């Protein structure tokens, strides 16, 4: 199968997934009439439209194929490391504070690069930490927990 076609096919599947999900959940809300539309009316209709669009895209990809563009190589490492560095930051910010979670974010996300150097990443983490503390905490006065909440309670 041509790559272009599988791309369209998958994109169509995503549309169908969201379309059906939207329609199914909206059916649980009040649909109403066109004069007095309920909260389900619009998303239900949109879900239907998106499902149809998804079908057209997917089926269209099966019937006619054109072009054989190479698929870009898919690599797991950047996806996983970049996303998990962000998620980790979110999870750690409240309990452990900005200082700790900043260092984790920088180091984990740096590992996603092919040119990762341990020392450089750690240095980068501390430089950025200093910038963040000066700009956001000192200058703009953002309300962000800085240190682990347990520690703060004890002092």
Shortest spacing between CB 10 and another protein, in angstroms: 5
CA distance 108 to 98: 15
CA distance 154 to 32: 56
Per-residue b/e over 38-77, b at no fewer than 16 CB within 10 Å? eebbebbeebeebbeebeebbeebeeeeeeeeeeeeeeee
Shortest spacing between CB 120 and another protein, in angstroms: 7
107 sits in which H/E element: helix 76-110
The answer to whether 113 touches 85, Cβ cutoff 8 Å, is no
Compare residues 35 and 155 and give the one whose CB is closer to another protein.
Answer: 35
Shortest spacing between CB 139 and another protein, in angstroms: 8
Shortest spacing between CB 106 and another protein, in angstroms: 5
The answer to whether 61 touches 8, Cβ cutoff 8 Å, is yes
Shortest spacing between CB 108 and another protein, in angstroms: 9
Compare residues 29 and 151 and give the one whose CB is closer to another protein.
Answer: 29
DSSP 52-68: HHHHHHHHHHHH-----
């Amino acid at each position: 199968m041509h790559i272009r076609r599988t791309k369209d096919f998958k994109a169509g599947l995503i549309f169908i997934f969201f379309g059906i999900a939207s329609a199914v959940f909206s059916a649980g809300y009040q649909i109403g009439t066109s004069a007095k539309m309920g909260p389900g009316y619009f998303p239900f209709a949109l879900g239907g439209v998106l499902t149809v669009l998804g079908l057209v895209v997917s089926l269209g990809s099966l019937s006619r194929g054109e072009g054989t563009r190479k698929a870009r190589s898919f690599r797991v490492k950047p996806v996983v490391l970049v996303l998990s560095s962000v998620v980790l930051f979110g999870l750690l910010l409240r309990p452990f504070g900005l200082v700790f979670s900043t260092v984790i974010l920088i180091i984990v996300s740096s590992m996603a690069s092919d040119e990762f150097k341990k020392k450089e990443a750690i240095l980068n983490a501390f430089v950025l930490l200093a910038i963040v503390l000066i700009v956001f905490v000192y200058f703009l006065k953002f309300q962000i927990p800085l240190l682990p909440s347990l520690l703060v309670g004890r002092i």
